[in-house]
Every structure is written in C-alpha cells, then in structure tokens.
C-alpha cells in the first residue's frame, strides 16, 4: 500500500538500531586505550575509481526512462545528478504533471507544509530531491534508494500498518538534511565559480518517495535518477506488501546499464531486519530493452528544461568524485597524517574546512587549540578504521563516515571523511555536531526563547514541563543527539504506543515527514522562502538555516539545522563545554561509538579534554512518563562486537 506524503525523506546518515553500551558509569573493563603514537601513514581503504557520467550516459538514462514512461502512459519529469549532487539535466515529457501535492496523513498542523498543493514546476524539485537521495545515500559498499529511505525514517521500523511497540526508524528526521538553506551545501554555479563543486544542496532535503535510485559505472556510484509524474510526493507506510509504483518502474528503467551491483543493494543488508531497495523489478518493465536514441525524443517527446538555482536547459557531464573539481579530494599529508583521509575542497586546491582553533574566545576561557582539534579528528578517524561497518558489503568491512568538529559557536573547526563514505553524511555530521554543542550550551534556552517563531518558543516550555526542569538547556547537562532524539519521537519512550510524545515531537496524531516538531519548525521559514524562489523567482533563502539569534554577527549556532538521530557528543575541558563532534555515514550505534571514543582518545592524546563528566551527562535524567513509571534518557549507544581488531564487547563502558 502506498500513501504519498513526505518531503525530505530519508537519508542514510547512519543506520542500525539502538545498541547496548553507554557512556556513563561501570567499570573500565573493555575500554579502548588511547593510542600513544599517531596513526601509521598507510592506507586501509580502497579509493573509488574516478568514474563519472558522460553526456551520452545521461542521455541514455533519460531515454530509457522516457520509453518506460511512455509505455505506462505517465508523462514524467526525469532528473539526473552526479555523486556530489550536481544536476546534470532535467527532462520534462509533454503533458507531465509538474505540480507537487503534500497531503496530510493525520491532523492538519497550522503553519507547516503538510496539506499543501504546490503548483508547477514544484514537481521538478521533487525529481531532483529523489535523484540526490539515491546518489547521496549510496557508496561502493551499499546502494540505497528512496524506498530504502522510506523504510528507515518513519515512526516505526520496519514501517507496517499493524506495527505495535516498535521504535522509530534509525534515521528518523534525516529528511531535514541537505537543506536548501545549509551553509555547507554548495549552490548551482557556486564553489568559487566552478559549477561542479559539491556537495550540492537538495531543494526538498532527502526524499522517501519511491522513484529515486543510485547510478553506477563499474561498481562505482556516479550519481542518481529521480522521477516525478503523478504530482504527489510521499512514502510507503506499509512495508509488509509490495507496491506497483509507476514512478519507481520508470526510474528503474533509467538505471539499465547503470544499475547497482546486486550484492550491495539494500535488500542484501541487515539492520536487525532486511532493508528494502525496490518493489519494482526489471521483469515488470513494459518498454523494450533498447531505448530510442535521445536525439529522437528531445524536442518531440519533451525537452530538457532549466530549473532555477539548480540547472540550465542543457545536459552536462558529471564530475568524477575524488577529483579536485568534484569538491571532495584526498587530503595532503600536511592536512591529516592518516593517508586515507578525504576533505572538502574549493576546486582550486584549498581545503574548505582546514583544521583550526576555536573561534569562541569571547565565550570560552580556553577554546580548543588547533592541535587539540587535530587530535580529536584524527583519533575519531582512527576509531572508524577499526569499526565493523553496519551498512556495508561485504560483511566485516570497515566503517566509512564523515566527521565534523565545531566550537561552541557552531563554527567548523575541521571536517574529514573516509574515501567512500556516503555523501549525505557530510551535512549530517555537521548537523549532529552543532546539535550537541547547541543544546549543551548555557545559552540554548535563551536562544530558543528568543526565536521569533512562537512554535519554537513553545517547544522550550514543553521541554521544561516534560523534564521537570525549569533550567533545562542552560548548561547543566551534556546533551548528545541520541538524547535529543529520545525527546523528539512521537512516543516517549520510543515505540511504546499509547504513551505521549516527547516535547520536541508533534506527536503521532500529527506525524508527517514534513513535520518532525522542533527540527522542522526551526527551518520552516527557510523552506517556504526557497519554494517561493523556485515558483515565483523571489529572493532565495540565504545559506544560513534557522532564525536563531546571532552568536556573532552573521552567524547563528545552527546554520544547517539540527538533527535528531544519534552520532554526536559534546567535547569538554574538565567541566567546561568547548565544542562537539558529529559522525555520520554508517549505523547509528557505530556513529555514536566513533564520536564517543574519538573524543575520549583525542582528548587523552591532547591532554585535558574529553567527554562530558559522567554526572552531567543526559543519561542521568530520569523522566516520569504518561501512564505511570519512569524512563532514563541515553547518552550514547555502542554496538556489540564493534571493532574488527578485538573481541571486546563493552568498549564504551567506564569512559
């Protein structure tokens, strides 16, 4: 059964269910000892070949999709992007429905997008978002589609109509990443004048509407395809059945010759349950195997069109991921001692986020130094190289993630990633770091209370009541993304149907992927502004999310929004907050562990830094729950058998 109604859904910023292990109390048995020497200057990962989509490749993908759309009688918009989100072309068939309907699934919520019908050409934004999602969630070790995204972002995992007492999806909330207002995501024509510099933003974040797939060449992900044809943008709330979705079949036809290797598709990956890749099959395609030449359909069956702020009315070749021109490249030895490290670049050789000292000397007596920032990032990277991946094939692969470090102002002090980490994790790791730093900051309550949106202000009041603490978010507690996620779910405790919602959640009666509570309310005005720019040519949203007060002129602490699933820790100098570390790209427990142990080991290496004191961590908070009883919040969750080089289980215990 297919109900349509989701905006930015799905992403694979980390995937794996809540595991055991934690950050507070217990003995030190099994703790990971800090390294006594820097990482060896050797490589442990294979670097993806620098494959890319040519103009002829893009034309072939489009022609194949058009042929299937014609066979199904569904004129459609077809978007193709490269791995870092550059839109390589958008083809609109004659008669295609370019509106985009965002229906409500439950109670209408004033001041949110659900229930809205957007006129043409809003459907083009949906097609691009689907293509970006397929490209961004995938790698050489995993291939995820927008249906996979739908599977992992809903209020139950797996999503089923008869679900009872099942927690939310591991990536609940990831749809609000890669936002059009993000200060990290590049814009069309940006990157110092180089149009193909990525990672690019998505017009609607990440999508869970079936009809988006990754594209591969020689086993290397090179982009994605997205299709919109029916005018509605949604997700599949019941994974117990098999859908017959025209958009998904059309997109699948486009992947012929560029299909993901079978062994890495989502339905070969277990995350407690087997994931979903596609309900459409090649056996169900209606068009002939060989599509007509693109030259015979361009101008007759439809046309390549321009999309304001995303693409010109032409088809271009994609950038080769890993090359300087893609915006992501291998680091130099001067940037990171670990030779597997990749960084974001401006296309002219300069690291966009070089490791640096904290910018918050006006707020912190001893900001992080450049050497301390380097130590934390390098030690987190080293833990990643030892971590058993959750979402990659073959089994026992090393995890691959993106790692971001920020100071208490939310300024980026360094960003590093492994060679083949999924692209979505770049923006998400920064969201996670900023989320932990913000809510652990003594200024958080005041800044939430002074937000011009009354709904955001009300979330603070709800949190005070829910937690029984009028001083919440004033610096007494160290908050992680896992803890913020605990109070941002439609049931508290998560999955216990019949319980009330967390204070940051809209509650199950108002659940909708376009409305996740505080997370979406913080960026709602930015999204509305961007939609207006696409439809009416009005000024676009600035590259700066949220209406939070400036911490310094021109900068707020949440410049690419917040994230509400695990993978971050705040960083402390003794009992003083000095920053936060965010990790994204594998299982949520793996992300948590890399952040937690990386901060511990990096702090020990630098001296005087580390995770929050145990007594101030969020797992010390016990909440009275509706219907009786109490529940304790979490700090981090570490997986079983997490490391490839040891049989130790409780590697986070006692730290």
Is the residue at 641 inside a domain? no
Cis before 109 (ω within 30): no
| Residue 183 and residue 263 in one domain | yes
**Number of domains comprising the chain:** 3
Domain stops at, among 520, 536, 552: 536
Cα distance between residue 433 and residue 410, in whole Å = 8
pLDDT given for residue 557 in this prediction: 97
In terms of domains, do 331 and 460 share one? no
Last residue of a domain, one of 495, 517, 536: 536
Let me know if residue 497 belongs to a domain. Answer: yes
Whole-angstrom distance, CA of residue 146 vs CA of residue 245: 12
Separation between Cα atoms, residue 569 and residue 526, nearest integer Å: 27
Identify whether 550 is part of a domain.
Answer: no
Same domain, 164 and 286: yes
Query: Do 166 and 75 have their domain in common?
Result: yes
- Please report whether residue 553 resides in a domain: no
* Positions of the chain with pLDDT lower than 70, given as ranges: 1-41, 103-116, 190-194, 272, 512
Give the whole-angstrom CA distance, residue 176 versus residue 124. Answer: 18
219-239 per-position pLDDT tens digit: 999 999 999 999 988 877 777
455/397 same-domain check = no
* Domain-terminating residue out of 244, 274, 304: 304
Asked if 266 and 297 sit in the same domain, the reply is yes
Same-domain pairing of 295 and 332: no
Q: What is the reported pLDDT for 11? A: 31
Q: Considering the domain boundaries, does residue 462 fall inside one?
A: yes
Pair 344, 408 in one domain: yes
Question: Range of 484's domain?
Answer: 446-536
pTM of the model: 0.92
Within this chain, do residues 279 and 366 fall inside the same structural domain, yes or no? no
Q: Are residues 509 and 578 in the same domain?
A: no
Alpha carbon distance 525, 548 (integer Å): 12
- Domain identity same for 435 and 455: no
In a domain, 376, yes or no: yes
Residues 611 and 477 in one domain: no
Q: Of 557, 555, 522, which Cα lies nearest the Cα of 408?
A: 557
CATH of the domain at 68: 3.30.450.150
pLDDT number for residue 171:
82
Domain contains 44:
no
Contact, 329 vs 342, CB < 8 A?
Answer: yes
Residue 338 lies in a domain: yes
CA distances from 301 to 254, 286, 528, 644 (A): 16, 18, 32, 53
Residue 571: name the closest of 583, 563, 586 by CA.
Answer: 583
């Amino acid at each position: 059964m297919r109900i349509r109604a989701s905006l930015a859904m799905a992403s694979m910023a980390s995937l794996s269910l809540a595991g055991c292990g934690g950050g507070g109390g217990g003995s030190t048995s099994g703790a990971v000892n800090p390294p006594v020497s820097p990482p060896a200057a050797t490589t442990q990962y294979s670097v993806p070949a620098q494959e890319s989509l040519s103009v002829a490749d893009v034309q072939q993908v489009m022609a194949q999709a058009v042929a299937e759309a014609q066979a199904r009688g569904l004129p459609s918009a077809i978007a193709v992007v490269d791995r870092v989100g550059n839109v390589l072309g958008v083809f609109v068939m004659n008669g295609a429905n370019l509106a985009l309907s965002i229906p409500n699934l439950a109670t209408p919520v004033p001041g949110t997008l659900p229930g809205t019908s957007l006129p043409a050409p809003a459907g083009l934004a949906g097609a691009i978002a689907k293509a970006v999602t397929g490209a961004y969630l995938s790698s050489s070790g995993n291939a995820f589609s927008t249906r996979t995204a739908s599977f992992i972002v809903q209020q139950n995992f797996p999503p089923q109509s008869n679900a009872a007492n099942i927690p939310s999806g591991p990536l609940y909330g990831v749809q609000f990443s890669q936002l059009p207002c993000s200060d990290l995501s590049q814009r069309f024509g940006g990157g110092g004048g180089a149009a193909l510099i990525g990672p690019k933003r998505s017009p609607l974040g990440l999508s869970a509407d079936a009809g988006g797939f990754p594209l591969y060449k020689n086993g290397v992900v090179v982009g994605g395809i997205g299709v919109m044809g029916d005018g509605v943008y949604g997700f599949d709330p019941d994974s117990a059945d098999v859908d017959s979705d025209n958009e998904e079949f059309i997109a699948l036809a486009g992947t012929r010759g560029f299909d993901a290797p079978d062994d890495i598709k989502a339905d070969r990956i277990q995350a407690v349950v087997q994931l979903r890749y596609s309900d459409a099959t090649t056996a169900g395609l209606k068009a002939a195997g060989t599509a007509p030449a693109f030259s015979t359909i361009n101008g007759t069956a439809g046309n390549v069109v321009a999309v304001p702020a995303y693409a010109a009315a032409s088809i271009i070749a994609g950038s080769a991921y890993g090359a300087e021109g893609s915006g992501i490249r291998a680091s130099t030895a001067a940037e990171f001692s670990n030779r597997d490290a990749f960084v974001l670049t401006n296309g002219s050789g300069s690291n966009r986020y070089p490791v640096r000292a904290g910018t918050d000397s006006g707020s912190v007596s001893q900001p992080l130094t450049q050497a301390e920032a380097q130590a934390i990032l390098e030690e987190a990277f080293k833990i990643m190289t030892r971590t058993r991946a959750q979402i990659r094939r073959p089994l026992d692969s090393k995890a691959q993630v993106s790692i971001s470090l920020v100071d208490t102002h939310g300024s980026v002090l360094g960003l590093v990633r492994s060679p083949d980490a999924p692209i979505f994790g770049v923006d998400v790791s920064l969201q996670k770091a900023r989320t932990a730093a913000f809510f652990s900051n003594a200024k958080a309550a005041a800044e939430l209370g002074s937000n011009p949106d009354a709904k955001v202000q009300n979330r603070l009041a709800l949190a005070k009541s829910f937690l029984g603490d009028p001083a919440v978010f004033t610096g007494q507690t160290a908050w992680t993304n896992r803890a913020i996620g605990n109070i941002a779910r439609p049931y508290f405790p998560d999955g216990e149907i019949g319980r009330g919602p967390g204070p940051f959640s809209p509650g199950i009666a108002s659940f909708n992927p376009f409305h996740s509570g505080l997370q979406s309310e913080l960026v709602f005005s930015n999204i509305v502004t961007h939609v207006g720019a696409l439809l009416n040519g009005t000024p676009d949203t600035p590259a700066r999310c949220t209406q939070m007060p400036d911490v310094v002129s021109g900068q707020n602490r949440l410049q690419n929004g917040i994230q509400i699933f695990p993978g971050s820790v705040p960083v402390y100098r003794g009992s003083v907050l000095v920053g936060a570390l965010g990790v994204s790209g594998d299982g949520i427990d793996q992300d948590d562990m890399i952040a937690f142990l990386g901060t511990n080991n990096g702090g020990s290496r630098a001296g005087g830094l580390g995770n929050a004191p145990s007594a101030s961590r969020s797992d010390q908070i016990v909440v009275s729950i509706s219907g009786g009883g109490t529940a304790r919040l979490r700090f981090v969750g570490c997986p079983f058998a997490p490391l490839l080089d040891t049989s130790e289980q409780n590697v986070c215990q006692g730290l």
